[in-house]
Structure 1
Amino acid sequence: MTSIQFHPDRPALVSRLRAAGCVFAEDEAELLIAAADSAERLTDLVDRRVTGLPLEHLLGWAEFCGLRVGVDPGVFVPRTRTALLVSVAAAVTRPGAAVLDLCCGSGAAALVLAGRLAPRWLAAADLDPAAVACARHNLAHLGVPVYQGDLFEPVPVRWRGELDLVVANAPYVPTDAVALMPPEARLHEAPVALDGGSDGLAVLRRVAEAAAEWLAPGGHLAVEVGVGQVDALCATLTGLGLVPAVVHDGDLDATAVTARRPG
């Protein structure tokens, strides 16, 4: 059977997306056209996009560090700025390391680190069942286990004190600021992936406290954080006996903190 070709009105589509507030309307239009196999399907995708549904949830994937990462509805969409976190984490960790991706979301960080570090052991964990299912799909071809539970709780205890790298893109938005986030995030991503407590550091403090026990001597914790939260987080890390370092990328508007366990 010969497929029926459809010819979308690109200028009209771009205008509609731009009117809805899509900053990269031209790029989005091409992606939506490529994802549609009929005029009806394209209309449905555009209708849902202009109501605020994240583009990545419509497409079913997001580009991250040069890879196409599957993203299911409701799952945290990997941000471009998180490329800094992954790069910094890889830079402080030797190949063949034992690596854990906490608060993994779609598993994007683990997917990239698998290629950059060739870990001897790599796992991911998240509290959100939808994120765990998504990450398991993305990481299945690598044989990477994805655990469901609160931070380190579901991780096999034999790795306590043996991890070379813990990377955690934990939530760090203060509770009062969640309502100020773009609707794409606050209405379509799991709140547990966004809300970092009263000052945004509630989850990161718990990550740091546990990481001090789960890291091997010389191992590193790597996290993403807001620039205004750096001093408070570094004070926490230092108080736990970890040695922090800060990296900021103005182009990505991103800040990453690493913390080494001495020894």
Structure 2
Amino acid sequence: MPILDLSRSVRGSRVLVTGGASGMGRATAWLFAREGAKVALTDIDAQGAEEVAQAIRNEGHDAQAWLLDAGDREAIQRIVPEIAQALGGLDIIVNNAGISAKVPFDAPDYDANWDRNLAITLTGQQAVIRASIPFLMASDAPRIINIASTEALGASAGLSAYSAAKAGVIGLTRSFAVELGRHGITVNCLCPGPILTGMTDHLTEEDRATFARRRTALRRYGDPMEVAHVTLSLALPASSYITGAVIPVDGGLSTRHA
């Protein structure tokens, strides 16, 4: 049997990264652009997204930014085809947009937080996927990578809306992996653990160090670029037989018991 020749390059691929103005989305946009992909990044922070895209272009790479509220399904249905037209198609979707707020079950704003979390973190992901499918079907190596969280595998007090939404992302990933597999579209999911992003900025350096020492095998927080590299690995044309996978990127947090 001949050895199958599979590419480990995303050069020339058309990539959509949601929530690309900061954190893991920003790192992902930078990494794909540096690897030669054409990147579209979206965010509700239009200025932040454009600043990231401009910085990428200043390095000689290809990036464009769009304003997009990931909780607005009508906007998603309008913007995704616009992005596909601008890029000449879509090959890779990175569903990164999400929000997190610590809201206890008896807080006055619990219902509003619940609705917004699910709208952005879960419903937004399925809306982006469904809007992208016609374009992915025309791709030679279509990839969908959804960003969930280790909060989908365990739980922290006050994060029930976030945990429920992220657990839903895992279910969404597995269901779409089965449904889209016959079209050659792979759908996988990452569960980042403690990562140095805006969602952890409110913690002191001492608190982060204590948590990492007690809970992770590597005894440290991760960098957004470390998550981005796993995303890139799943997006490679060579990763054509991985689908429905749920991969923790958590420094061993989900493995360590004591």
Give the TM-score range, shorter chain: 0.3 to 0.5
Q: Could you say which structure has the higher strand fraction?
A: 1
TM-score by length of 2: 0.45
Structure with the bigger RCO (C-alpha within 8 Å, sep 6+) is: 2
TM-score by length of 1: 0.45
Tell me which structure has the larger Cα radius of gyration: 1
